[in-house]
Amino acid sequence: MGRRAWGRSGLHRSLLKRYAGYAAAGLAIALPALLAVAAEQLPDRVVVHLLNRLAFGPTFEEFRQVKTFGVERYIAEQLNPDSIPEPIELRWRLAQLDTLRLNPVQLRQLYGPLRVLRGFRPNPELERAQRERVRIILRDASDARVLRALLSARQLQEVMVDFWFNHFNVFSGKGLDDVWIGNYEQQAIRPFVLGRFRDLLFATTKHPAMLVYLDNALSTAPGSPGARGRQMGLNENFAREVMELHTLGADGGYTQEDVVTLARVLTGWGVNPPDARFFPEHAAVFEGARHDYSPKVFLGHALQSHGKSEGEEALDILARSPATARHISYELAQYFVADEPPAALVERLAARFVETDGHIREVLRTLFASKEFWDSRGAKYKTPYQFVISAVRAAGAPVGNVRPLIGAMDQLGMPLFGCLTPDGYKNTEDAWLSPDATTRRISFVTALVGTNPKVIGAAQSVGAERLEAIFGSSLSDATRTAIKEAPKGMHAALILGGPDFMRR
């Protein structure tokens, strides 16, 4: 996939040479004007813009669907994904991924570290075999994410899974998170992506994957009855990231004292041991013996609850804070509109967030109806994940094996479930645009249009006709000129490898 494998390709060199001369066109159009236009008269560029933002780029079928039924209907359907039936192929392929059906306790029992009797040394061969088995979970989780992004008709839901997993990032390489990463997405992220922010915050905070990743499983009130071993003192990691990243934002008005207070509030929220006598059916539990029961004032609020309920009260305060409304609204506007989103748009979204008690669907409805959204065509540079998924969707290439696509994301610097830091992957242009990254992207599309089975496992070449039908009239003049001057066999690569396609 790297430059060495494709460096001698004439098509690859031609794409690199032409890349610098391309330009992107702009679009200024508001939703009310669009709604007054008959669906069949919708400009292609409007449809492409919509599908680049509410979906992982257009397929030919979805492009025609929006052209037929219009923008308003597509947005309404995507905001209510349960009303959209999923393709049989997707349902069948997901059903083959056995680990997706297991809960955290079952996953640890079947794939976690081997339990050995005291005084007996673990068998090294069995330990190696168990470590190999754990890879099945990451494989199933990655396959499921990519298959859904490629094939699901509920595209906005998949886009929001990408957004929220990144917001509440967990790294699969931390502790037992390689065992729990798939369940974390399935149970703590996916069901809540269009619901109330409070429910999403609660679900991620209480999942064992997050409690392990940000060390709250170790956080213990000093001197408490449960203080033992590694669980001897207060750990502030989780409390700090919950406020700085997940809710209030870095400028959300909290102090170091608030960080310490929240850490005290969350003491005892941790992971049940494998041999637990109490609540053995739960992997994440509240252990009262490790909790700090002293009085607390958090963000100016004297907490009324005690024990586990104290943490829930603090999370409610965070979820309903105006600072959280602004922080989440800024991130949504940055993801869907521009790297530096318009302040007026952020304020309107934040107001809607507060009005609806953090209802994500309603905030998005306001965002998609905004002039700023429709004026921002091409303002966002695709992340490697978005680029790979959108290229395969646009090309319409049958995908038998998604492992090479996941490998391509690795090559482009964005391994699935592989971001080490809690702030997640950046979705801004300066994080991903570079000469080397461009070369690697072009390497991917030259392999894709050549239908190298090592890349997509497809059985036929990708034709340029469907790509030109989707993107032809929305391409920049420079790109259209390059296509016109190039041999027909290069047209598909020029579309997918050009700068127009790398933006959304």
Quick: pLDDT tens for 60-83.
999 999 999 999 999 999 999 999
Residue 284, phi then psi, degrees to nearest 5: -110, 130
How far is Cα of residue 477 from the mean position of the Cα atoms in its chain?
Answer: 33
With respect to residue 272, please indicate whether it lies within any of the assigned structural domains: no
CA separation for the pair 404, 9 (Å, rounded):
20
- Write down the residue that tokens 């309603």 correspond to: 362
With respect to residue 173, please indicate whether it lies within any of the assigned structural domains: yes
Closest by CA position to 183, among listed 100, 109, 241:
100
User: What is the pLDDT, as a whole number, of residue 149?
Assistant: 98
> Does 394 share its domain with 497?
yes
- The first and second tokens of residue 10, run together, are 């004439």
Residue-wise pLDDT for 296-335, tens only, equals 999 999 999 999 999 999 999 999 999 999 999 999 999 9
User: What is the pLDDT, as a whole number, of residue 38?
Assistant: 61
- The first and second tokens of residue 90, run together, are 């997707």
CA separation for the pair 141, 403 (Å, rounded):
12
> Does 151 share its domain with 185?
yes
Q: How far is the CA of 160 from the CAs of 53, 54, 269, 327, 388, in angstroms?
A: 11, 9, 27, 16, 17
> Does 405 share its domain with 460?
yes
Q: What residues make up the domain containing 359?
A: 322-374
Residue-wise pLDDT for 398-447, tens only, equals 888 999 999 999 999 999 999 999 999 999 999 999 999 999 999 999 99
CA separation for the pair 283, 274 (Å, rounded):
8
Residue-wise pLDDT for 324-366, tens only, equals 999 999 999 999 999 999 999 999 999 999 999 999 999 999 9
User: What is the pLDDT, as a whole number, of residue 10?
Assistant: 54
Torsion over CA: 260, 266, 267, 273 (sign): negative
With respect to residue 255, please indicate whether it lies within any of the assigned structural domains: no
Q: Which of 169, 189, 209 is the last residue of a domain?
A: 209
> Does 177 share its domain with 201?
yes
Three-state DSSP class for 383?
Answer: coil
Residue-wise pLDDT for 8-23, tens only, equals 455 555 555 555 443 3
User: What is the pLDDT, as a whole number, of residue 17?
Assistant: 56
User: What is the pLDDT, as a whole number, of residue 376?
Assistant: 98
> Does 355 share its domain with 369?
yes
With respect to residue 432, please indicate whether it lies within any of the assigned structural domains: yes
Total domains present in the chain: 3
> Does 360 share its domain with 386?
no
Mean pLDDT of 231-259: 96
Q: Which of 337, 358, 374 is the last residue of a domain?
A: 374
CA separation for the pair 160, 142 (Å, rounded):
16
With respect to residue 137, please indicate whether it lies within any of the assigned structural domains: yes
Report yes or no: 422 and 183 within 8 Å, Cβ to Cβ: no
> Does 484 share its domain with 383?
yes
Q: What is the CA radius of gyration of the chain?
A: 24
CA separation for the pair 348, 364 (Å, rounded):
11
CA separation for the pair 153, 30 (Å, rounded):
25
- Write down the residue that tokens 């979906």 correspond to: 55
CA separation for the pair 6, 2 (Å, rounded):
7
Report DSSP state, residue 113.
P
pLDDT band at residue 167, thresholds of 50, 70 and 90?
very high
Report DSSP state, residue 271.
E
Q: Which of 162, 189, 209 is the last residue of a domain?
A: 209
pTM: 0.91
> Does 383 share its domain with 474?
yes
With respect to residue 127, please indicate whether it lies within any of the assigned structural domains: yes
Closest by CA position to 38, among listed 74, 77, 69, 78:
69
User: What is the pLDDT, as a whole number, of residue 58?
Assistant: 98
With respect to residue 10, please indicate whether it lies within any of the assigned structural domains: yes
- Write down the residue that tokens 């408490």 correspond to: 224
- The first and second tokens of residue 156, run together, are 């906005």
Indicate the average pLDDT of the chain: 90
> Does 489 share its domain with 476?
yes
CA separation for the pair 151, 399 (Å, rounded):
10
Beta strands in 386-467 (DSSP E): none
Closest by CA position to 90, among listed 136, 29, 152:
152
Beta strands in 66-159 (DSSP E): none
Give the number of other CB atoms < 10 A from CB of residue 97: 18
User: What is the pLDDT, as a whole number, of residue 499?
Assistant: 95
Closest by CA position to 455, among listed 444, 464, 463, 465:
444
> Does 454 share its domain with 362?
no
Mean pLDDT of 391-396: 96
Residue-wise pLDDT for 215-232, tens only, equals 999 999 999 999 988 887
CA separation for the pair 102, 134 (Å, rounded):
13
pLDDT band at residue 129, thresholds of 50, 70 and 90?
confident
Question: Residue 459: pLDDT above 80?
Answer: no
With respect to residue 144, please indicate whether it lies within any of the assigned structural domains: yes
- The first and second tokens of residue 183, run together, are 């369940």
> What is the longest distance spanned by two Cα atoms in the chain?
77
> Does 384 share its domain with 496?
yes
pLDDT band at residue 491, thresholds of 50, 70 and 90?
very high
Length of the chain: 504
> Does 370 share its domain with 475?
no
Report yes or no: 318 and 266 within 8 Å, Cβ to Cβ: no
CA separation for the pair 11, 494 (Å, rounded):
9
